[in-house]
């Protein structure tokens, strides 16, 4: 197995680029992209710049193509820029950098990219797609994804492990949605019936996100009660001494 993709710091969930590739494919693309990453370093390009450009490309692909119903080409553009997730990590490894700032920037821009993808779906269904229900489902996917991420981040910020693997986390949300969108876009090339994959995927993501949110809220409630009970027990033991 080849070398792992370098991380730019600790992140709670994998980026979409890493999620779309299994460990063997990541090793292959790491080797392929290493010379390109080294070239960018020699040109003075920073990992942060690659992260910003990658996010801008995902946002453009989602908000330019998806609202027009160009799901195939939009997904192609998004997928190309998704590889920035691998390039910036490769650059960070070569530079020997792993920073809190890099992890923060990655996580923040991940949310921007998520919002653009599901926002693009919502704009299509609110406009030419002419389906208010699927527009609402897309908005729910957008909002629930942000809240799911927030629950883990907030739980960890108050000292809880939030030890739960949700049913549909960020990686699954985006992989399911992007693959379905790309395939649904092939309807314009004459593939019959395939356009229904995207609505099915959006409903699946919406339900999965709701289940994941409930899982995390229940986990945080349980861990919070356990932590408070442990603190009370420790205080009682101190008072008894």
Q: How far apart (Å, rounded) are the C-alpha atoms in residues 10 and 74? A: 30
Cβ proximity of 67 and 138 under 8 Å: no
Range list of β-strands (E), the chain:
none
106 among annotated binding-site residues = yes
- Catalytic one among 110, 114, 169, 172? 110
Residues 160, 220 contacting (CB under 8 angstroms): yes
The answer to whether the annotation marks 75 as part of a ligand binding site is: no
50 is in an annotated binding site: yes
Q: Is 15 marked as a binding-site residue?
A: no
- Establish whether 131 is a catalytic residue: no
CA distance 179 to 20: 10
32 is in an annotated binding site: no
Does residue 89 have a known ligand-binding role?
A: yes
* CA atoms 21, 27, 28, 29: torsion sign: positive
110 labelled ligand-binding: yes
Catalytic residues: 110
Known binding-site positions: 48-51, 85, 88-89, 93, 99, 106, 110
Q: Which residues are annotated as a binding site for a CDP-1,2-diacyl-sn-glycerol?
A: 48-51, 89, 93, 99
Q: Which residues are annotated binding-site positions for Mg(2+)?
A: 85, 88, 106, 110
């Amino acid at each position: 197995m080849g070398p792992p993709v370098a991380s730019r710091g600790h992140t709670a969930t994998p980026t979409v680029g890493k999620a779309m590739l299994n460990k063997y494919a990541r090793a292959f693309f790491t080797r392929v992209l290493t010379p390109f990453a080294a070239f960018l370093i020699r040109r003075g390009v920073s990992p942060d710049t690659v992260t910003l450009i990658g996010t801008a490309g995902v946002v453009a692909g989602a908000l330019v193509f998806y609202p027009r119903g160009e799901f195939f080409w939009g997904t192609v553009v998004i997928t190309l820029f998704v590889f920035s997730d691998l390039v910036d990590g490769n650059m960070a490894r070569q530079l020997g950098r792993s920073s809190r700032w890099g992890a923060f920037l990655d996580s923040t821009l991940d949310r921007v990219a998520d919002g653009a993808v599901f926002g693009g779906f919502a704009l299509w269904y609110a406009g030419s797609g002419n389906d208010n229900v699927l527009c609402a489902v897309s908005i729910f996917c957008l909002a629930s994804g942000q809240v799911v991420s927030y629950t883990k981040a907030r739980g960890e910020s108050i000292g809880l492990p939030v030890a739960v693997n949700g049913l549909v986390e960020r990686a699954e949300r985006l992989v399911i949605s992007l693959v379905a969108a790309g395939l649904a876009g092939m309807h314009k090339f004459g593939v019959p019936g395939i356009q229904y994959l995207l609505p099915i995927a959006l409903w699946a993501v919406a339900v999965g996100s709701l289940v994941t949110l409930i899982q995390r809220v229940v986990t945080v409630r349980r861990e919070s009660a356990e932590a408070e009970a442990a603190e009370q027990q420790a205080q009682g033991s101190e008072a008894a001494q």
